[in-house]
Structure 1
Amino acid sequence: MIKIGLISDSHGYIDQKVIDYLQDVDEVWHAGDIGDLRVVENLPRDKARRIVTGNIDDQMARQSFPEEIWVEIEGLKVGIIHIAGKPPRYAKGIKEKIRENNLQLLVCGHSHICKVEYDKSINCLYMNPGAIGQHGFHAMRTMLLFEIHNAKVQNLRVVELGKRGV
């Protein structure tokens, strides 16, 4: 079993509240729009990291992290990409990537809207943790905590981190 802390859209901001939630996970995933590499530097150092870049990330971030991750964890096929749209209206080419990689879990960011939905049309769980940052139109800062065990996502929790700008 692997415990995951999923964040996105930090836009250069991370606070102690986020870091405290990440203390109890095995892996930290960041679904893009890091904004400033100091965000990554402030993540707990003893955790495995899976980080992708987003549309606001600069060349230094792009040299450090990929745009996409396709991986199998505990028997679960996972894709992490910043811009993916949402079920049933995915961004161009995303459904094809889901099918090509036989994904069971698609993780993305970009919208700043926390959403988890199983898309039965392609047999894939969609997860977007919302945004942990202060920049954007979201009202509530959010992240997701969950576990992967025997090719299944379990014990999923939405964490509300407080209102943006407060």
Structure 2
Amino acid sequence: MLLEALINEDAVKEGDIAPDFELQRQDGGLFRLHDLLKEKNVVLYFYPKDSTSGCTKQACEFRNQYEVFKEYGAEVVGVSSDSLQSHKKFERVHHLPFTLLSDKGGQIRSIYGVPRKLGVFPGRVTYIIDKSKRVRAIYNSMSKPLEHISTAIEVLRSINEEQQSPQ
């Protein structure tokens, strides 16, 4: 527990610049966060495991709302420590239109300070990051996977209203 407390002190917080990283996508190509942020807002969500009940519900709801995310100029990116093969299958079976990244060893999860449930299970945390690389909101809930999507949409709506209002 002490180690988890130390990690969480360094966790990414709202208002921080999102740490850049590079990971492999499910198609084998490389993904770099700051490259995508040059063009779009990003909904970066960390989830425990492909093909589990809560993670499948969450991914499918991101899929079902994907057009809304696109309308708000955002891209959805999922991260877990599952293998590329697992991600490919998860994407194919559930027709996921967004990027899944393989964070083997949990290095990026650690950089962001995503907590573990009961100190063992990888946590479920969503970061909404605007094009200026600023973390605008963080939603952390293992037990409410669908609320990650509605929270992200609300934050993106707010970001769009800010960007469209006269200065």
Using structure 2 for the length normalisation, give the TM-score: 0.29
Q: In proportion to residue count, which structure has more strand?
A: 1
Q: In proportion to residue count, which structure has more helix?
A: 2
User: Larger relative contact order (C-alpha < 8 A, sep ≥ 6)?
Assistant: 2
